[in-house]
Amino acid sequence: MPDSVLITGASSGIGRALAIEFSRRGYALGLCARRLELLENLQHELSRNHAVEIAELDVSQYDAVKEVLFKLAEKLGGAKIIIANAGVGERSLPGEGTFYLDRRVIEINLLGAMATIDAGAEILKKQGGGQIVGISSVAGFRGLSNVPAYSASKSALSTYMEGIRHHLTQHKIAVTVINPGFIDTAINTNRKFRPFLISAEKCARLTADMIEKKVLSSTVPLWPWALVSGAMKFIPERLWCRFKT
Protein backbone atom coordinates (compact mmCIF):
# COMPACT_ATOMS: atom_id res chain seq x y z
CA MET A 1 0.00 0.00 0.00
CA PRO A 2 1.49 3.41 -0.95
CA ASP A 3 1.80 6.24 1.52
CA SER A 4 -1.43 8.19 1.77
CA VAL A 5 -2.36 11.83 2.23
CA LEU A 6 -5.66 13.40 3.33
CA ILE A 7 -6.47 16.86 1.94
CA THR A 8 -9.37 19.13 2.84
CA GLY A 9 -10.61 21.67 0.33
CA ALA A 10 -9.35 19.45 -2.47
CA SER A 11 -11.91 20.33 -5.14
CA SER A 12 -10.14 23.43 -6.50
CA GLY A 13 -7.17 25.77 -6.20
CA ILE A 14 -4.14 24.73 -4.19
CA GLY A 15 -5.92 21.68 -2.74
CA ARG A 16 -6.69 20.26 -6.16
CA ALA A 17 -3.18 20.95 -7.40
CA LEU A 18 -1.74 19.22 -4.31
CA ALA A 19 -3.92 16.17 -4.93
CA ILE A 20 -2.62 15.91 -8.49
CA GLU A 21 0.99 16.41 -7.38
CA PHE A 22 0.86 13.82 -4.60
CA SER A 23 -0.84 11.35 -6.93
CA ARG A 24 2.02 11.89 -9.38
CA ARG A 25 4.43 11.06 -6.56
CA GLY A 26 2.71 7.75 -5.85
CA TYR A 27 0.55 8.59 -2.84
CA ALA A 28 -2.93 7.22 -2.24
CA LEU A 29 -5.38 10.07 -1.67
CA GLY A 30 -8.23 10.86 0.68
CA LEU A 31 -9.91 14.00 -0.64
CA CYS A 32 -12.75 16.02 0.82
CA ALA A 33 -14.48 19.29 -0.01
CA ARG A 34 -17.93 20.86 -0.15
CA ARG A 35 -18.34 20.40 -3.92
CA LEU A 36 -18.69 16.67 -4.37
CA GLU A 37 -19.17 16.81 -8.14
CA LEU A 38 -15.75 18.41 -8.60
CA LEU A 39 -14.21 15.76 -6.34
CA GLU A 40 -15.83 13.02 -8.41
CA ASN A 41 -14.28 14.47 -11.55
CA LEU A 42 -10.87 14.62 -9.86
CA GLN A 43 -11.24 11.07 -8.58
CA HIS A 44 -11.98 9.84 -12.09
CA GLU A 45 -8.92 11.68 -13.38
CA LEU A 46 -6.52 10.30 -10.77
CA SER A 47 -7.78 6.87 -9.71
CA ARG A 48 -6.22 5.13 -12.71
CA ASN A 49 -2.85 5.49 -10.96
CA HIS A 50 -3.53 5.02 -7.25
CA ALA A 51 -6.35 4.70 -4.75
CA VAL A 52 -8.45 7.86 -4.45
CA GLU A 53 -11.20 8.06 -1.84
CA ILE A 54 -13.48 11.10 -1.68
CA ALA A 55 -16.06 12.53 0.70
CA GLU A 56 -18.23 15.61 0.88
CA LEU A 57 -17.21 17.86 3.78
CA ASP A 58 -17.77 21.40 4.93
CA VAL A 59 -15.08 21.92 7.59
CA SER A 60 -17.26 24.51 9.34
CA GLN A 61 -19.53 21.58 10.25
CA TYR A 62 -17.11 20.68 13.00
CA ASP A 63 -18.80 17.51 14.23
CA ALA A 64 -18.58 16.02 10.74
CA VAL A 65 -14.84 16.62 10.32
CA LYS A 66 -13.69 13.81 12.58
CA GLU A 67 -16.16 11.31 11.13
CA VAL A 68 -15.18 12.06 7.53
CA LEU A 69 -11.42 12.03 8.11
CA PHE A 70 -11.55 8.82 10.13
CA LYS A 71 -13.55 7.10 7.38
CA LEU A 72 -11.14 8.25 4.67
CA ALA A 73 -8.13 7.08 6.69
CA GLU A 74 -9.79 3.72 7.32
CA LYS A 75 -10.54 3.22 3.63
CA LEU A 76 -6.90 3.96 2.76
CA GLY A 77 -5.50 1.76 5.50
CA GLY A 78 -4.08 4.76 7.34
CA ALA A 79 -2.69 8.20 6.57
CA LYS A 80 0.87 9.48 6.53
CA ILE A 81 0.11 13.17 5.93
CA ILE A 82 -2.98 15.23 6.75
CA ILE A 83 -3.28 18.65 5.09
CA ALA A 84 -5.62 21.30 6.47
CA ASN A 85 -6.09 23.27 3.28
CA ALA A 86 -9.78 24.27 3.09
CA GLY A 87 -10.16 28.04 3.08
CA VAL A 88 -12.08 31.01 1.72
CA GLY A 89 -11.25 34.64 1.10
CA GLU A 90 -13.81 37.41 1.40
CA ARG A 91 -13.46 41.17 1.04
CA SER A 92 -15.14 42.72 4.05
CA LEU A 93 -14.68 45.88 6.08
CA PRO A 94 -16.18 46.91 9.43
CA GLY A 95 -19.26 49.09 9.28
CA GLU A 96 -20.36 47.81 5.87
CA GLY A 97 -22.75 45.13 7.05
CA THR A 98 -20.41 42.31 6.12
CA PHE A 99 -19.68 40.77 9.51
CA TYR A 100 -21.32 37.57 8.29
CA LEU A 101 -18.46 37.24 5.78
CA ASP A 102 -15.87 37.75 8.51
CA ARG A 103 -17.55 35.06 10.59
CA ARG A 104 -17.51 32.65 7.63
CA VAL A 105 -13.80 33.25 7.05
CA ILE A 106 -12.96 32.52 10.69
CA GLU A 107 -15.27 29.51 10.85
CA ILE A 108 -13.65 27.88 7.81
CA ASN A 109 -10.06 29.12 7.73
CA LEU A 110 -9.34 28.92 11.44
CA LEU A 111 -11.88 26.81 13.32
CA GLY A 112 -12.33 24.41 10.42
CA ALA A 113 -8.56 23.99 10.19
CA MET A 114 -8.34 23.43 13.96
CA ALA A 115 -11.06 20.78 13.75
CA THR A 116 -9.12 19.11 10.93
CA ILE A 117 -5.89 19.22 12.91
CA ASP A 118 -7.59 17.86 16.02
CA ALA A 119 -9.04 14.89 14.15
CA GLY A 120 -5.81 14.41 12.21
CA ALA A 121 -3.74 14.35 15.37
CA GLU A 122 -5.99 11.67 16.83
CA ILE A 123 -5.60 9.55 13.70
CA LEU A 124 -1.82 9.92 13.65
CA LYS A 125 -1.38 9.33 17.39
CA LYS A 126 -3.15 5.99 17.03
CA GLN A 127 -0.86 5.13 14.11
CA GLY A 128 2.28 6.08 16.01
CA GLY A 129 3.20 9.17 14.00
CA GLY A 130 2.92 11.08 10.74
CA GLN A 131 2.67 14.69 9.64
CA ILE A 132 0.14 17.49 9.88
CA VAL A 133 0.31 20.38 7.42
CA GLY A 134 -1.51 23.69 7.63
CA ILE A 135 -1.89 25.86 4.53
CA SER A 136 -1.61 29.38 5.91
CA SER A 137 -0.57 32.47 3.90
CA VAL A 138 1.86 35.36 3.69
CA ALA A 139 -1.31 37.41 4.28
CA GLY A 140 -0.98 36.36 7.90
CA PHE A 141 2.27 38.28 8.36
CA ARG A 142 0.56 41.70 8.35
CA GLY A 143 -3.05 42.83 8.27
CA LEU A 144 -4.14 43.41 4.65
CA SER A 145 -6.54 46.33 4.35
CA ASN A 146 -9.03 44.72 1.96
CA VAL A 147 -9.19 41.31 3.65
CA PRO A 148 -8.50 41.88 7.36
CA ALA A 149 -10.46 38.82 8.50
CA TYR A 150 -8.54 36.61 6.07
CA SER A 151 -5.24 37.98 7.40
CA ALA A 152 -6.41 37.40 10.97
CA SER A 153 -7.48 33.82 10.22
CA LYS A 154 -4.13 32.92 8.68
CA SER A 155 -2.09 34.63 11.37
CA ALA A 156 -4.04 32.76 14.04
CA LEU A 157 -3.64 29.43 12.24
CA SER A 158 0.13 29.82 12.00
CA THR A 159 0.35 30.77 15.67
CA TYR A 160 -1.84 27.83 16.68
CA MET A 161 0.31 25.38 14.76
CA GLU A 162 3.46 26.78 16.30
CA GLY A 163 1.84 26.26 19.69
CA ILE A 164 0.95 22.59 19.09
CA ARG A 165 4.27 21.58 17.56
CA HIS A 166 6.05 20.63 20.80
CA HIS A 167 3.20 18.42 21.98
CA LEU A 168 2.80 16.61 18.66
CA THR A 169 6.53 16.14 18.19
CA GLN A 170 6.45 14.01 21.33
CA HIS A 171 4.03 11.74 19.49
CA LYS A 172 6.28 11.54 16.41
CA ILE A 173 3.99 13.87 14.46
CA ALA A 174 5.74 16.52 12.39
CA VAL A 175 4.01 19.91 12.06
CA THR A 176 4.54 21.94 8.87
CA VAL A 177 3.16 25.41 8.14
CA ILE A 178 3.06 26.49 4.50
CA ASN A 179 2.63 30.19 3.68
CA PRO A 180 1.83 30.63 -0.02
CA GLY A 181 2.26 34.02 -1.62
CA PHE A 182 0.08 34.99 -4.57
CA ILE A 183 -1.05 31.83 -6.36
CA ASP A 184 -3.02 32.00 -9.59
CA THR A 185 -6.31 30.64 -8.24
CA ALA A 186 -9.90 31.87 -8.06
CA ILE A 187 -9.45 33.20 -4.53
CA ASN A 188 -7.41 36.18 -5.76
CA THR A 189 -8.08 36.58 -9.49
CA ASN A 190 -9.90 39.88 -8.90
CA ARG A 191 -6.88 41.52 -7.28
CA LYS A 192 -5.07 44.07 -9.44
CA PHE A 193 -1.77 43.65 -7.57
CA ARG A 194 -0.40 40.09 -7.35
CA PRO A 195 3.36 40.31 -6.90
CA PHE A 196 5.55 37.25 -7.54
CA LEU A 197 2.55 35.33 -8.90
CA ILE A 198 3.02 31.61 -9.59
CA SER A 199 0.69 28.91 -10.90
CA ALA A 200 -1.16 26.49 -8.64
CA GLU A 201 0.83 23.65 -10.22
CA LYS A 202 4.16 25.22 -9.31
CA CYS A 203 2.89 25.99 -5.83
CA ALA A 204 1.87 22.34 -5.38
CA ARG A 205 5.23 21.08 -6.58
CA LEU A 206 7.18 23.37 -4.24
CA THR A 207 4.80 22.66 -1.35
CA ALA A 208 5.03 18.88 -1.78
CA ASP A 209 8.83 19.14 -1.75
CA MET A 210 8.70 21.06 1.53
CA ILE A 211 6.21 18.64 3.06
CA GLU A 212 8.34 15.64 2.18
CA LYS A 213 11.34 17.40 3.73
CA LYS A 214 9.21 18.08 6.83
CA VAL A 215 10.16 21.74 7.00
CA LEU A 216 8.78 23.55 10.05
CA SER A 217 7.53 26.60 8.18
CA SER A 218 8.14 28.21 4.81
CA THR A 219 6.79 30.68 2.31
CA VAL A 220 5.94 29.43 -1.19
CA PRO A 221 7.89 30.21 -3.20
CA LEU A 222 10.71 30.53 -0.70
CA TRP A 223 12.28 33.44 -2.59
CA PRO A 224 11.61 36.31 -2.73
CA TRP A 225 8.84 35.88 -0.14
CA ALA A 226 11.17 34.86 2.69
CA LEU A 227 12.92 38.20 2.29
CA VAL A 228 9.80 40.25 1.55
CA SER A 229 7.76 38.78 4.40
CA GLY A 230 10.58 39.51 6.83
CA ALA A 231 10.77 43.10 5.65
CA MET A 232 6.98 43.48 5.91
CA LYS A 233 7.16 43.09 9.67
CA PHE A 234 9.42 46.12 10.01
CA ILE A 235 7.41 48.60 7.94
CA PRO A 236 6.15 51.27 10.38
CA GLU A 237 2.41 51.13 11.05
CA ARG A 238 1.85 54.65 9.74
CA LEU A 239 3.31 53.65 6.38
CA TRP A 240 1.72 50.22 6.23
CA CYS A 241 -1.81 51.53 6.76
CA ARG A 242 -1.47 53.67 3.61
CA PHE A 243 -0.94 50.64 1.38
CA LYS A 244 -3.97 49.40 -0.57
CA THR A 245 -3.02 45.82 0.17
Helix/strand/coil for 90: coil
**CA dist., res. 52 & res. 49, Å (int):** 9
Domain positions in the chain? 4-240
Per-residue pLDDT of the chain (245 residues; tens, 9 = 90+): 579 999 999 999 999 999 999 999 999 999 999 999 999 999 999 978 789 999 999 999 999 999 999 999 999 999 999 999 999 988 888 999 999 999 999 999 999 999 999 999 999 999 999 999 999 999 999 988 889 999 999 999 999 999 999 999 999 999 999 999 989 887 766 666 677 889 999 999 999 999 999 999 999 999 998 898 888 888 887 777 766 55
What is the DSSP code (8-state) at residue 33? E
Residue 150 known to be catalytic: yes
**CA dist., res. 48 & res. 131, Å (int):** 26
Helix/strand/coil for 190: coil
Helix/strand/coil for 192: coil
What is the DSSP code (8-state) at residue 184? S
What is the DSSP code (8-state) at residue 216? S
Instruction: Select which of 62, 100, 150, 160 is catalytic.
Output: 150
pTM, two decimals, is 0.93
What CATH code is assigned to 4-240? 3.40.50.720
